[in-house]
């Protein structure tokens, strides 16, 4: 399980780091009570990653067990995250099951893996990797062809260089005309007020966001 390899598959099971109930801290669903499913494993190693504990370990759960645990929360919103959830092929089946159950489903993905097979009902939140992440070369630009209006592109920015890179990508790809674009500062690296002012100064058509869960609970695992 260690290193940069995809998670090994086993029957109809997925390796899960945690399932929990909390407030959504990011995206356009911020503040909504949400059931979170965090899958284990990730092929990327962003230098500022705040969920490295999900790189390995976890527990094997069947799709039925996962669905039952999510149902116990009674939430309409469900977020499938990681790690990199698409590193486990069974994630695609899980997304279908969640949508069929009537949930509003979001998928948080690095965009380094093909999103074409993802159920079109799912809200894809694609995190394009800026230079400061150390994983800029892993961006799969073809994924932008599969954007739908309800999807979102997220940029997590560590400094002014990251910001100027993201600003160029937004303009080059006409992202704000295709879906919601989110700019977020790396916690404790880029001052939120600085990023907010840059956005205002440049009149960028993007949405500034902070991670609500870190403001409330300090970003503790499972919150």
Query: Domain coordinates of the chain in residue numbers?
Result: 13-217
pLDDT over threshold 80, residue 13: yes
What sections of the chain are H helices per DSSP? 63-71, 91-100, 160-172, 192-201, 212-217
pTM beyond 0.85: the answer is yes
pLDDT over threshold 90, residue 194: yes
Asked if 122 and 153 touch (Cβ cutoff 8 Å), the reply is: no
Which class is 13-217 in CATH? alpha beta
Q: What is the pLDDT of residues 20-57, one digit of tens each?
A: 999 998 888 999 999 999 999 999 999 999 899 999 99
Cα–Cα–Cα angle for 145, 149, 150, nearest 5°?
A: 115
Question: Positive or negative CA dihedral for 193, 195, 201, 207?
Answer: negative
Q: What CA–CA distance (Å, rounded) separates 178 from 81?
A: 23
Asked if 119 and 146 touch (Cβ cutoff 8 Å), the reply is: no
Average pLDDT over residues 186-200: 95
Dihedral, CA atoms, 189, 192, 194, 200, nearest 10 degrees?
140
Report the percentage of the chain scoring pLDDT > 90.
Answer: 85
pLDDT over threshold 90, residue 212: no
Q: Where does residue 168 rank: exposed (0-12), middle (13-18), buried (19+ CB within 10 A)?
A: exposed
* DSSP E strand stretches across the chain: 13-23, 33-39, 59-62, 77-81, 104-109, 123-128, 152-157, 180-185, 207-208
Q: What is the pLDDT of residues 114-162, one digit of tens each?
A: 999 999 999 999 999 999 999 999 999 999 999 999 999 999 999 999 9
Helix, strand, coil abundance in the chain, percent, nearest 5: 30, 25, 45
* Residue 140, number of CB atoms within 10 A of its CB: 15
């Amino acid at each position: 399980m260690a290193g940069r390899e995809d998670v090994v598959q086993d029957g109809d099971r997925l390796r899960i780091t945690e399932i929990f109930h909390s407030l959504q801290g990011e995206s356009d669903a911020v503040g909504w009570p949400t059931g979170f499913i965090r899958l284990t494993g990730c092929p990327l190693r962003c230098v500022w990653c705040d969920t490295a504990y999900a790189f390995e370990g976890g527990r094997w759960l069947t799709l039925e067990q996962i669905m039952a645990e999510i149902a116990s929360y009674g939430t309409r919103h469900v977020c499938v995250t990681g790690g990199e959830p698409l590193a486990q092929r069974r994630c695609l089946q899980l997304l279908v099951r969640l949508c069929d159950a009537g949930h509003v489903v979001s998928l948080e993905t690095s965009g380094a893996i093909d999103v074409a097979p993802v159920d079109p009902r799912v809200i894809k939140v694609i995190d394009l990797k800026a230079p400061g992440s150390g994983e800029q070369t892993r961006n799969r630009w073809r994924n932008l062809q599969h954007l739908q209006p309800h999807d979102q592109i997220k940029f997590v920015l560590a400094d002014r260089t990251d910001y100027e890179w993201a600003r160029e990508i937004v303009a080059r790809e006409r992202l704000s005309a295709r879906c919601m674009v989110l700019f977020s500062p790396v916690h404790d690296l880029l001052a939120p007020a600085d990023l907010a002012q840059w956005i205002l100064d440049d009149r960028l058509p993007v949405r500034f966001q902070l991670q609500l869960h870190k403001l409330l609970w300090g970003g503790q695992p499972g919150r």
